[in-house]
Structures are given as C-alpha cells and as structure tokens.
Amino acid sequence: MYFYIFHWSSNGIPEVLKGTVADPATFMTERELLLSEEYSKVKNFIFFILTPLEWLVYLFILGTGLSRVFEKWSELGLKWKVIKNGAYLFFLYLFTAILFYPVDLYRYNLSKKYGISTQDFSSWMRDYVIDFWVGFITTLIIVIVLYWLLHISKKRWWLYAWLLTIPFAIFMMYIQPVIIDPLYNEFYPLKDKALEEKILDLADQANIPSEHVFEVNMAEKTNAMNAYVTGIGDNSRIVLWDTTLNQLSESEILFIMAHEMGHYVQKHIYIGMAAYILSTLVGLWLISKIMPWLIDRFGQVLKIKEMKDINSLPLFLLLISLMLFLSNPVSNFVSRYQESRADEYAMELTKNPEAAVSSFQNLAKTGLSEVNPPFIVKIFRYTHPSMLERINTVAEYTKKEK
C-alpha cells in the first residue's frame, strides 16, 4: 500500500476535464494542491496500516496469554460474572487505548500541521477521554449481553443477539443528538434568524418537520465544514457547523442543507438502519460458525478453551474488524450512491448549480480533500463521491437541464 499510495497511483485529472470547474487547478493554489496531495497520501496510508495493526494487537493479546491475565485480574475480589466481564473489558479497552494513543496523537498533530485542526491539546485530550468512556460504556452493554447469551444458548446466541441489536441501534440513534453529541460541543439555535427562516422554508418544501436549525461551535476545533440532519422522531435535528456559516455564502449553505435534507426525504437514514440490521445478522451468523472452528483448531495457541469465556473477546473483535474491513467496498459503494442522489435532490430543490459547484470547491479547499483519489483508496475509504465526480455531476446536470 505504501508503494501504491506514494509511487504507483495517479490522482491526476482526466484530459477532458482539465481547465473545467472540476479541475482543482482552477480553484486551488499551487500550495493548496501540494498540501492536499501530501495530506491525503499520509492519511490514506495510515488507514491501510491501522486496521491490520489492530488485528495484530488482538492476536498478540491472545497469543501471549495477556487475555488470560486480564481475566485473572478481573476475578480478584469480584463475585458477579457480569462485573467480572465488565472489569475484563475495562482492562482490554484501556490497554488498546494506551497502545493506539501515539497513533491518535500523531493524527491530531498531522491535522494541526496542515491547518485542518485548530483545537488545542487540552481540548483534544478532553474529547479523547470522552471518546474512551462513551465507547467503553457502549461496548460494555453489548459485551455483557453478548456473553450472557453465549452462556444460556450455545447454538442460538447469535440470533438472540441480533434481535436485541435492533432496539439498541434505534435507541442509540434517538439519544445521539441530545445526549452524546452535546458532550463534545455546544449546540444552540442558529443566530442568523433570516437564514434559519430560509432553511426552514426548504425543510417545509421537503416535508421535514422542524422548528429550529441548530448551530454548533466547531471553529475552535477545526477549519473543516459540515452540516447534517440527525436523529429520529422528536429528536431529529438540522445542524450547521459555525465554520460552514463563516466560510460559505448563503446560497452555498442553502445548497448544502438541501443536500442533507435529500438524505431525509429519500429515507437514507432508515435504509442505512435496515442495511445495518441485515449486515449484523449475517456477521453474527458468520462469527457463530467461524469462531468455534478457530477455537477448536487453534484454541491452544490462542489460549482459549470455550467461546463463552470472556477471554475469547479479542478473537471476537478481530473477526468483527476483519469483516468490517472486507465489507467496506460494498458499504461505501451504497453510501456514494446515496450521496449522489442527495446531490441531485439538492440541485432539484435549489435550482442553483453555481452554488453547488462553488460549495464543493470550497469544501475541497478547506478540508484539503483529494479531488480524484486512487481507485483502491476510493473503494475502501470514500463514503462520498470524489469532488471531481460531484462537480462534474453538477455540470452534467446543468447541461441536461439546458
């Protein structure tokens, strides 16, 4: 991957698009082009080494007997199985967090170096600690229920676990906007009431029930821009980063909001939920077949006796990580299709292709985005179409309309 990303791949612009609005040379300076190329290559390389590194860490924890050590520590002075499993997870979670901390710190410093992050170290550490506890508590609930099911049903645990993931996923989507997101940033009603009225007018045209647009203070953390519609039911929210408000014109903001509304109108949230539920079913079933086979064959090497023992958790996490990585091309393809559909909806709603083009150009500039990423990088990393494709789609749409 190093040679592919840094030496073999070409992210040049097709001849037919050179000099057009999709060509980054027309809207980015030479320095921005250089920084974009450098930053993208480093980020892409980190992505492709981190996942295999995660697999190696889990194998190391199992093969060295460290998992058994965590299990013994969790049994000291504790009676209840649930509490013991929770203690084991804490030791495992803390160990991996410490192990990957240098990588996370490097990524933070990299983002600062290239002018994407504006966050000071103390603020970043605060978010890092919040991430740790939010991730730990969420995982703790899953692990406790999962290993309880493994104890009561050796054959059908995967089916029961899958059935329980459905209400849990819906619950997490419901509380995300009002409990989890505010832990990181302050949300408040949009200060620009004239703009809020125009956004709500778009929402009304799209039949989105909303009385307020929320603004979030991201300028103290990043120069990147974003906007989204999140949550379900009464907790659904239209959210704008203040960086988007500060750096884009009104027409560009309205186009971006129309794009986010397109996801809502076309039920992408619910389609994504259905896909998650289906993929979870397949994933749990595969693990129920693969994991016992691995324990039977390599249990002595991995130091695992039975799947229901909590020290088998690193193997469980390894298989999940492996399947997620292998499924990335499919999930990303679906996501890119949905993003394209949301772009088309936004163009239909706003009737302003110039704002669409300029908003994509500004997003690429501020985020130092790779306008035309290499093929393998695109299929494994990109949940959105490349900026080259998005801008060119607007141009094609305009031609079709004319």
Using one digit for the tens of pLDDT, what is the confidence trace for 2-19? 999 988 877 677 787 788
DSSP 180: I
Q: Is 246 inside any structural domain?
A: no
Q: Is the pLDDT of residue 378 over 80?
A: yes
Tell me whether residue 157 is in a domain. yes
Per the annotation, binding residues for Zn(2+) are 259, 263, 339
What pLDDT sits at residue 24?
84
342 closest CA partner among 198, 228, 209: 228
For the stretch 157-174, pLDDT in tens is 999 999 998 898 888 878
Q: Which two tokens stand for residue 93?
A: 């979670």
Check residue 7 and give its pLDDT: 86
Query: Has 15 been annotated as catalytic?
Result: no
288 within some domain: yes
* Higher per-residue confidence, 61 vs 169: 61
Instruction: Establish if 116 belongs to a structural domain.
Output: yes
376 within some domain: yes
The structure tokens 């086979």 sit at 293
In the beta sheet, which residues pair with residue 187? 216
Over residues 342-364, the mean pLDDT reads 88
For the cut 80, the answer to whether the pLDDT of residue 211 exceeds it is no
**Phi then psi dihedrals of residue 93, to 5 deg:** -65, -45
Mean pLDDT of 281-297: 94
Residue from 185, 220, 229, 355 nearest 212 by CA: 229
Catalytic option among 252, 343, 370, 389: 343
Taking residues 382-398, report their average pLDDT.
85
What's the pLDDT tens digit per position in 179-199? Answer: 888 888 888 888 888 888 888
- Which single residue is written with the structure tokens 């094609």? 396
User: What are 301's two structure tokens?
Assistant: 């090497």
Is 139 among the domain residues?
yes
| Sequence ranges of the binding site | 259, 263, 339
DSSP characters over 58-125: HHHHHHTTHHHHHHHHHHTT---HHHHHHHHHHHHHHHHHHHHHHHHHHHHHHHHHTTSB---HHHHH
Q: Rounded CA gap, 163 and 146, in Å? A: 12
Which residue would you say has higher pLDDT here, 210 or 351? 351
User: 28 pLDDT band (50/70/90 cuts)?
Assistant: confident
Map residue 307 onto helix, strand or coil. coil
| 345 Cβ contact partners less than 8 Å away, ≥ 6 residues apart | 258, 259, 261, 262, 265, 266
Catalytic annotation, pick one of 196, 260, 370, 389: 260
Type of residue found at 43: K
Average pLDDT over residues 202-219: 80
Is residue 402 within a helix (H) or strand (E), and if so which, with residue range?
A: none
pLDDT band at 235 (very low <50, low <70, confident <90, very high): low
What is the pLDDT, as a whole number, of residue 333? 95
Per-residue pLDDT, 94: 95
Residue 125 pLDDT level (bands cut at 50, 70, 90) = very high
The 8-class DSSP code of residue 385 comes to -
- The string of pLDDT tens digits covering residues 257-270 is 889 888 888 888 88
What is the structure's pLDDT at 101?
A: 96
The confidence band for 59, taking pLDDT boundaries of 50, 70 and 90, is: very high
DSSP states of 346-377 = HHHHH--HHHHHHHHHHHHHHHT--SS--HHH
Categorize the per-residue pLDDT at 234 as very low, low, confident or very high, splitting at 50, 70 and 90. Answer: low
Sheet arrangement for strand 227-230: 187-189, 213-216, 237-241, 227-230
The listed range with the strongest mean pLDDT (19-23, 186-190, 300-304) is 300-304
> Is 6 inside any structural domain?
no
The CB-side HSE value for 399 (13 A sphere, CA atoms) comes to: 6
Backbone angles phi and psi of 229, in degrees to 5: -110, 125
List the domain range (segments joined by +) for residue 346.
25-186+265-401
Catalytic: 71? no
- pTM value is 0.86
* Rounded CA separation 1/325 (Å): 15
In degrees, to the nearest 5, what angle opens at C-alpha 282 toward C-alphas 276 and 285? Answer: 135
CA angle, 275 then 46 then 54, to 5°: 65
**Rounded mean pLDDT of the chain?**
89
In a domain, 3, yes or no: no
- Residue 358 to residues 19, 238, 394, Cα–Cα distance (Å): 15, 22, 11
The answer to whether 387 and 356 are in contact (CB under 8 A) is no
Report for 203-217, 261-275, 323-337, 358-372: range of highest mean pLDDT: 323-337
Instruction: Band the pLDDT of 233: cuts 50, 70, 90.
Output: low
Domain count, the chain: 1
Q: How many CB atoms lie within 10 A of CB 34?
A: 12
Q: Token digits for 352?
A: 């302003």
Q: Please, which residues bridge with residue 227 across strands? A: 240
